Structure 1
Amino acid sequence: MFFSLTGVFIISLCFNFLRIFQIASSGEAVKEAFLPVTFIFVNIMYLFIYNFFGQNIIDHNSQVFITAYSVQWYVAPLHIQRMILFLLLKGAKDFTIIIGKIFISSIECFATLIKASISYFTVVLSMQ
């Protein structure tokens, strides 16, 4: 569901950018640009929020690994040492949240999505 919703948002961003460019180049009233600017703002905020929460979870997992790595394991009982070893083995792998089996929910992915929508906008603009 997130994957299809993200695709719709990217297409919406592309065409709203195109509409704002058309309004700016034709000299129409500024009031005409209010609705596309609002849609762009809402779309970007939605994409940012769910990618930010994914990045938050990834950062939290990294912090758990750093804490388990820096603990004084040699003074802990043997069963605690085994649990720390388990945490270190699990934390050594990169933790990612994959949405739609296509992209990772992170701030880097947010930047990629915005860059893609601007690229599509320039392609559509050059075709006119």
Structure 2
Amino acid sequence: MKIYVFGNPLLREDRTAIKIARKLAKKFPEIEFKEFDVVEDLEEGNTLYLMDVVKGLEEVKIIENFDSIETKKIFSLHDYDLSYEIKLLKKIGKIKKVFLIGIPFGKSEKEIEPQIHLILRKWLAQLKQGS
């Protein structure tokens, strides 16, 4: 299993997912946590697993429906964001399912890490069962 981790390690408010992924990589050696820049190409496949900070969440949440996420109009590459890329890849048939671990903006790592542990254990169990 590979989880793409988004964020900017230079910005305090945007590096939470990266910091947590680095800790989780030690606890979940069977999962590859890949720090990722949106301008890179996502690998194609049936299912993508992602992790990023999301404004507006109160607790860790799995987001599967990207249709409900508002995307802004793109005028340059600086406007290109994750939700736009996911919608585009789904529309052209490059990916089928996307699961995003949404990390609440501004929450402490200690507060959210246990919630992410539960999600990862559930996903690993499902993969082992073949579902």
Give the TM-score band, short-chain normalised.
under 0.3
TM score, norm. by length of structure 1: 0.24
Q: Which has the higher contact order (CA 8 A, sep 6+)?
A: 1
Q: Indicate the structure (1 or 2) with the bigger Cα radius of gyration.
A: 1
Bigger proportion of residues as helix: 1
